[in-house]
Amino acid sequence: MSVYNQLQDMEDYIITRQKDEVADTMHSSSSVESNTQAIKKQLFQKALIYLSRREYARVELRTKLLKVSTSDVLLDEVLDRLAALNYQSDERFVESFIRSKSHWGSKKILYMLSQYELNTHLLESAKEQLQMNEFNRAFDVWYKKFKGISPQNYQDYTKQARFMASRGFDLSLINRVLKMTSEEISDKINII
């Protein structure tokens, strides 16, 4: 049994147990307050399970927690508590996302980050961070795919340019990488 399957089984067991606890609480106590506390506890525990695996943006985590409760007030309270305890952080999510997508260009990364409804300050900071090493990332992606072999004809050039564009790199940067001479490529490899 793989680690993923074991985690999934553990998660299913916890969710089933939590649902049973909530059901017992609802039946044994007519108090709305205790029911609310049980749901908050369940939401918090579920969020911790998700956050123990990887970083999540607040919007993404909220979407996942909607499966447990549809109460906006409870979700916001739990998400605020997670942020206050520094268990959930959009800043860490952005850093983690950029690190995991280092084989993409900044255009594609920024587009994907914009889907998470992040603060504009975070997106601007990410843009600055990405632009600092954009050429190196583009060169690394190109070198890994094409083994440092510059395009020999128009067909090779368009093939390599399409590949780089599909990764989200800017056209001017693509042209800069593809027009490197063999001396520039060997110098770049020696630096790395």
Distance (Å, whole) CA 120 – CA 97 = 16
pLDDT at 25: 53
For 69, the token pair is 């409760």
> What string of DSSP letters covers 70-100?
--HHHHHHHHHHHHHTTSS-HHHHHHHHHHH
**Of residues 15 and 55, more confidently modeled:** 55
At 79, list the tokens: 């998400």
70-128 per-position pLDDT tens digit: 778 889 999 999 999 999 999 999 999 999 998 999 999 999 999 998 988 999 999 99
Domain boundaries, the chain: 3-88, 92-132, 134-191
Confidence of residue 181 (pLDDT cuts 50, 70, 90): confident
What whole-number distance in Å separates Cα of residue 180 and Cα of residue 178?
6
Per-residue pLDDT band at 184 (split at 50, 70, 90): confident
* Tens-place pLDDT, residues 145-163: 998 888 889 999 999 999 9
Alpha helices in the chain (DSSP H): 3-28, 32-53, 58-65, 72-84, 90-100, 106-114, 120-132, 134-146, 154-166, 171-178, 182-191
Q: What is the pLDDT of residues 31-72, one digit of tens each?
A: 666 778 888 888 899 999 999 999 999 999 999 998 887 778
What is the Cα–Cα distance from 91 to 113, expressed in whole angstroms?
11
Q: How many CB atoms lie within 10 A of CB 56?
A: 24
Q: Give 135-145 pLDDT, tens digit per residue.
A: 989 999 999 99
pLDDT for 3: 55
Tell whether pTM > 0.95.
no
Q: Looking at residue 70, what is its pLDDT?
A: 77
Mention every residue, 6+ apart, whose C-beta is less than 8 A from residue 110.
Answer: 123, 126, 127, 130
In which band, very low, low, confident or very high, does the pLDDT at 29 lie, cut at 50, 70 and 90?
very low
> SS3 for 130?
helix
